[in-house]
Homo-oligomer: A and B are copies of this chain.
Amino acid sequence: MVRSAQDATKDVELLRNFLNDREMALNGRLPPERSLCEELGISRGKLRNALAQLEAEGQIWRHVGRGTFFGPRPVLNLSEVEYLSEQCRPTEVIEARMAIEPQMAKLAALHGTASNFAEMRRCVRLCKSAKDWRVYESWDNNFHQAIAAATCNKLLISLFDTLNIVRRSTVWGQMRATRLPPKDHKSFAEHDAIYDAIVDRDPERAAEAMRTHLRSVRDRSYKPFDD
């Protein structure tokens, strides 16, 4: 027993030294198991035991067909938004929106440019004049996207894009109760409030207006299920 345990730790150290000598880069790929076990002079079973320990420590991660990689964790984000859409309940989506979009409105008020504001104004206007739910949703979507663009932060814009795709694919098909959006749709005033606060360069008011808008959207969409 002691003998085999010593051997196991010995194999792990052999592997550790190999990684240190090679000065593996982050996310660098290790040689395939079949090559590596030969290179280290140990059997594939021994090698796999050592790899398993390093994986448990979070030093490497493995994936069938791809290989073994040096790094702290497997990359969970699959970019398969369809997968996310299936996994996410609508309440999760609205929760994520309420966590992120007010902050984006805040940054939009701080960093937005004149052309950002013009685009937002255009979206608000076309949203009001929409004669079809599908067109309305399109410009409502463009409005929120314009706010994201106004943050002037490419990373935030990208994150919002994925959030937005998931939102659209979960909400799509809902809201067919009425054929046309009403003239006095509640969102119109809320859009105006968000727009005004951002143009006034008032971050806190912009965030609060966005929260109010999202609360309204949430209550309008999920009230049937809540009560």
Which residues of A are interface residues toward B (Cβ below 8 A)?
A: 26, 58-59, 72-73, 75-77, 79, 81, 84, 87-88, 92-93, 95-96, 99-100, 103-104, 106-107, 137-139, 141-142, 145, 153-159, 161-163, 165-166, 168-169, 172
Are the CB atoms of A145 and B73 closer together than 8 Å?
Answer: yes
Q: List 10 extra interface pairs beyond A26-B172, A77-B79, A159-B159, CB under 8 A.
A: A58-B139, A72-B141, A77-B81, A77-B158, A77-B165, A79-B79, A84-B155, A92-B155, A103-B103, A158-B162
Chain B neighbourhood of A76, CB < 8 A: 157-158, 161
A154 to B78, alpha carbons, bound, how many Å? Answer: 12
Residue from A100, A141, A155, A172 with most neighbouring chain B CB atoms (10 Å): A155
Residue in B closest to A102 when the chains form the complex, CB atoms: B103
Of the A-B pairs whose beta carbons lie under 8 Å apart in the complex, a sample of 14, sorted by A's number, is: A26-B172, A58-B139, A59-B138, A76-B157, A77-B79, A77-B161, A77-B165, A79-B79, A92-B154, A95-B107, A96-B156, A100-B103, A100-B159, A159-B162
**A84-B155, A154-B92 known; A162 vs B77 contact (CB < 8 Å):** yes
- A88–B158 alpha-carbon span in the complex (Å): 11
Residues of B within 8 A of A100 (CB): 99-100, 103, 159
